[in-house]
Structure 1
Amino acid sequence: MDPILLGAIFITPIAAIIIIGLIWYQKWNYTFKDLQHIKGPTPLPIVGNMSELGDPTKIFWQLFNWQIQYGNIVKGCYGMDMLLLISEPEYLEFICTSQSTLPKGIFYRYLHKWLSFGLLTSKGKKWHQRRKMITPAYHFKILEQFVEVFEKNGNILVEKLRGEVGNPSFDVNIYLTLCALDSINETAMGTSVDAQNNSNTDYIRAIKEMNRIVVDRTIQPHKHFDFLYQFTNDYKIEQKCLKILHSYTLSIIESRRQELLNNPSRFDSKYVDEFGMKKRIAFLDLLLQSTIDGKPLSNEDIREEVDTFMFEGHDTVSTCMSFWMYLISKHPEVEAKLLAEQREIFGDDPKRPTTYLDLQKMHYMEMTVKETLRLYPSVPFMMRDTLEDFTFRDLSVKKGTQILMLPFYLHRRADLYPEPEKFIPERFTAENMSKRHPFAYLAFSAGYRNCIGQKFAMIELKSTLSKVLRSFNICSAVPEHNLVIKSEIILAAGNGYKIQLKNRTW
């Protein structure tokens, strides 16, 4: 072989690595040139801190440990992406209420094939239009009608759980996940997959696979590049899952659209059917009747919003309920206070249907839910992209910097929450909340992109958990069983939520 050609073969890759390394070095110095006072882990050229963040079982805890080691504001990088990890309430308020940091971070792009550019992942004008359009769907008059859905699915859940009474230890998450999936299907699309009686549907399996794939793409560098990713087995699995998920949603949309064209009055909130039953308006029905700039939404526009609603309102609720039941099983004194509140509301009839007014009276129940989300926020970290350079106090942040917010760490700061590892619902009395910075609690995010469905979620949580509490004593299964936390898209317990149930004597 020609020596010159042979030399070129060896030199070219080395030269490319050197060039990329120089670009990385320049980017690192440019991004953080005014942030020498901010500490962080030492990055390697090109790969940055990838070696520390590349394990799905460790990435979450690594970020948590960085904050413990380096402080409430930490700098680092993931490959060519520069990161600022911030858990300081005053800074978080600025970030969450600034137009400069409105877009979601780069890793949300792995949700685009599934959710496209719905409310969660969109930005700019489209996000503003969608937010304005969707907000009326969460009016209390709309939410009130969903209590009937939660009541029905809660009754099915209770009957399923009765089969576990006497079992010394079982993972309650399986049941709660299926119940939440039934509820979100009926409220979002006006239909049911009957998940609690048919847990092995293709749709449910597809959701689980997509959650796994999105996380894997985030932490595995070679899957960041679409060209390389298409040769992986996950790409093939993803294509099958997307076909299942999108086909299901689009078929329901087309069916409901046709129904609206054939009988518009059925979508009137005052409509009563031939059996005297009032028509329930699903989230999908509202989208079908919505317009932007005078034009109705296409099936694809509606699909991305419905899929977003399904994604955001399913696992977040079921994991919160699972953590709540685990915590209550470990704190009988809290269960006693909850039960006293339930008896005050329901009197001698614990089996009567729950009303919207009942849910408004469950103040202590709401405190326990908020404290559960403090300890175990469903969304463990959030990311924002920086659209332009900005300065806030001692931070000079460059355009393109990825800002990470870690509620799990923020919520466990001892200066904000004394004895942070303890489960103390009274932290969320009105008096105690008024003493804390409002951005010291990010269970539902905050600012412009706060969770639009938080009232919906709280109603579902209180309705379902109240029904379980009135039916069972929630007991600790294995005293030495401690949760092993892992972060997927949603925070979860890697070793399950082991509890024990006993039939309650009211």
Structure 2
Amino acid sequence: MLLTVAVVFLATLAVFWFFYSSEYRRKLALLKTEPYLPFFGHVLKLTKNGNSSVLPVLEEMWNNLGRDKYLVKLGPLDQVIITKTEDIELILSSNVLIEKNFVYKFLEPWFGNGLLILTGKKWRSHRKMLTPAFHFKILESYVEVFQEEAQVLADQLLDQGDGDIEMSHITSQRSLFALCRTAIGFDMNVNKDMSDFAASTQMIKKIMNQRVFSSWKFIDPLYQLTGEAKKLRECLNVTHSTFFTALRAKQESMKEMMELIASGKETLESITKEDDFFTKKRMTFIELLLLSKTPEGELLTDEDIKNEVKTFMSAGHETTAMAAAFIMYCLAMNPDVQKKAFQEQLEISGGDLTKPLTYKNVQDMKYMERVVKESLRLYPSVVAMGRKITEPTVLKDGTELPVGVSVLLVPYFTHRNPEVFKDPLKFDPDRFLEQVSLYSYYPFSAGSRNCIGQKLAMTMLKCWMGTVIRTVELFPPEGAHPEVIVEITINSATGVNARARRRQY
């Protein structure tokens, strides 16, 4: 044990000595920062109240240091916070600066080594191969699932009574259920034995959030010796077993089609070429992966498929759940907006709100789309995005970023900058009637590494909100309003609350 600690400590010192060579230090010394403690950096200040103080402290630094860029030291690790539109464009539009920063490696056990974390040639190959999995025909086949889960969501809101409802725990469950159905074909409403999977998923999220905001837990050999790491491994084994079971079941049921594709006699495109194929058979994400080939003509390995399914599930689950909760909060706080959104539902349905939503209906929700976008502006599901600087990079004002440093792009700050958005704290969906720069508004990132699932997310959120407000009228909470905190996704220390009543019309 002591030998392990000593080796890790010396190796860590060697790495830090390398990064703190004179050239690296010289460039970082030109960046604005606030006073920090040796070794600890800003960690103690950032975490003085747990993760609830992280965002307020970073925002205070952002305001104090000029709403531009500044250096944050997480212990001996350096993070350059960047929020200016022109610098965000420089980073996100680059076809070279595509490597994620070190934090993402600690998410790999949960998210899998899939598209979110991959880099280089393999990332480009998987990105190209996965793009057809988000074709509009596939999204159209998912609308029925999304609407069914949204109706359960609406019923659950009404079941809570007249008082304040904490909505994120409900949206988290429904999002997980919807993604299980569309990703691996398991209906958790029917398969009661999936309760262990759901509980393990929630525990993994909790543990990973705790790890991301701890300085010493980044030292992996030490962390793996803890009881927390043991619990994480147990929960991961449960989720991995579920993915493995789903994979084997699908491989068995699709054996004939897979052999045809492997032999070159058929392709995914030829099998699914009929216009009504996806309406006849709603293909899950895992099935599409089994029938897909990389640009090099190779079938994906079992490990590749499990990694991509884990990425799809993990990255999509909490982001859509928190987005849905905050959208409902924004609707509750803005009754005029909610009234317009409901009126749009009346127009789309021709006055018959019992008619099931179609994909075209979802596409026609132009006002609801602006509502979703405006909520994601104020409450972006992903508060910050990390990149590693892998080649000499000069920002627009001439500032040099040293190779090896990590940068954090923070849409939460950019979206609330009065230099970018007029009256930024006002909830105004109509600001999206005008074109908004990709690098001023980037809740789904931008550039070559933008979120491949953003159309799926928008389809799901519009379908959910359209379904909910047909049944439910939302009102402001009587108690706590959101106190935004940073976890792996955005969250609130006080919950995301509103009141709900059955809509009368």
TM-score (normalizing by structure 2)? 0.89
User: Aligned pair count?
Assistant: 482
Instruction: List aligned pairs for 1:363-382, cutoff 5 A.
Output: 363-382=366-385
Q: Which amino acid aligns with 2:211?
A: R
Alignment partner for residue 278 of structure 1, among 277, 280, 287?
280
Match of 1:93 in 2: 89
How far apart in 2 are the matches of 1:178 and 1:45? Answer: 43
How far apart in 2 are the matches of 1:251 and 1:23? Answer: 43
Q: Which runs of 5+ in 2 are unaligned?
A: 1-5, 261-267
Q: Which amino acid aligns with 2:380?
A: P
CA spacing shift, 1:481–1:215, aligned 2, 3 Å: closer
Assess if the C-alpha contact under 8 Å between 2:110 and 2:314 holds in 1.
Answer: no
Match of 1:259 in 2: 253
Assess if the C-alpha contact under 8 Å between 2:141 and 2:279 holds in 1.
Answer: no
Q: CA deviation at 1:175?
A: 2.2
Range 291-300 or range 197-206, more displaced: 197-206
Q: CA deviation at 1:323?
A: 0.6
Secondary structure class of the residue paired with 1:442: coil
Assess if the C-alpha contact under 8 Å between 1:270 and 1:279 holds in 2.
Answer: no
Match of 2:187 in 1: 192
Assess if the C-alpha contact under 8 Å between 1:28 and 1:82 holds in 2.
Answer: no
Match of 1:214 in 2: 208
Superposed CA deviations along residues 345-395 of structure 1, whole A, max 9, x for unmatched, are: 112210100011111111110111011011110001111011122223312
Superposed CA deviations along residues 463-505 of structure 1, whole A, max 9, x for unmatched, are: 1110110111111230x53211111101011212221112112
Superposed CA deviations along residues 244-277 of structure 1, whole A, max 9, x for unmatched, are: 0111011101110111015669x9547999xx98
How far apart in 1 are the matches of 2:192 and 2:345? Answer: 31
How far apart in 1 are the matches of 2:460 and 2:273? Answer: 23
Alignment partner for residue 344 of structure 1, among 331, 343, 347?
347
How far apart in 1 are the matches of 2:343 and 2:486? Answer: 35
Q: CA deviation at 1:222?
A: 2.1
How far apart in 1 are the matches of 2:30 and 2:372? Answer: 38
Match of 1:9 in 2: none
Match of 1:58 in 2: 53
How far apart in 1 are the matches of 2:324 and 2:193? Answer: 18
Match of 1:107 in 2: 103
Assess if the C-alpha contact under 8 Å between 1:64 and 1:409 holds in 2.
Answer: yes
Superposed CA deviations along residues 402-434 of structure 1, whole A, max 9, x for unmatched, are: 0011111111001111221111111111x2x3x
Match of 1:360 in 2: 363
Superposed CA deviations along residues 212-241 of structure 1, whole A, max 9, x for unmatched, are: 222222222221122211221111111101
Match of 2:3 in 1: none
Q: Which amino acid aligns with 1:194?
A: N
Match of 1:398 in 2: 402
CA spacing shift, 1:349–1:86, aligned 2, 3 Å: same
Q: Which amino acid aligns with 1:458?
A: M
Alignment partner for residue 117 of structure 2, among 117, 121, 131?
121
Q: CA deviation at 1:44?
A: 2.8
Assess if the C-alpha contact under 8 Å between 1:171 and 1:497 holds in 2.
Answer: yes
Assess if the C-alpha contact under 8 Å between 1:444 and 1:451 holds in 2.
Answer: yes
What is the aligned-residue identity percentage?
A: 32
Assess if the C-alpha contact under 8 Å between 2:324 and 2:465 holds in 1.
Answer: yes
CA spacing shift, 1:395–1:421, aligned 2, 3 Å: same
How far apart in 2 are the matches of 1:325 and 1:231? Answer: 42
Q: Which amino acid aligns with 2:139?
A: L
1:299 paired to 2:298: no
CA spacing shift, 1:420–1:198, aligned 2, 3 Å: farther
1:485 paired to 2:484: yes
Match of 1:159 in 2: 155
Secondary structure class of the residue paired with 2:501: strand
How far apart in 2 are the matches of 1:53 and 1:490? Answer: 17
Secondary structure class of the residue paired with 1:377: coil
CA spacing shift, 1:263–1:220, aligned 2, 3 Å: same
1:503 paired to 2:498: no
Q: Which amino acid aligns with 1:53?
A: L
Q: CA deviation at 1:295?
A: 2.5
Superposed CA deviations along residues 178-201 of structure 1, whole A, max 9, x for unmatched, are: 221111111111222228x96981
How far apart in 2 are the matches of 1:179 and 1:139? Answer: 23
Q: CA deviation at 1:26?
A: 7.3
Secondary structure class of the residue paired with 2:51: coil
Ranges of 4+ aligned residues in structure 1 off by more than 6 Å: 270-273
CA spacing shift, 1:419–1:198, aligned 2, 3 Å: farther
Match of 1:10 in 2: none
How far apart in 2 are the matches of 1:25 and 1:310? Answer: 38
CA spacing shift, 1:464–1:199, aligned 2, 3 Å: farther
Range 106-115 or range 461-470, more displaced: 106-115
CA spacing shift, 1:200–1:132, aligned 2, 3 Å: closer
Q: CA deviation at 1:20?
A: 4.7
Q: CA deviation at 1:35?
A: 5.2
Assess if the C-alpha contact under 8 Å between 1:24 and 1:80 holds in 2.
Answer: no
1:39 paired to 2:32: yes
Q: Which runs of 5+ in 1 are unaligned?
A: 1-12
Secondary structure class of the residue paired with 2:254: helix
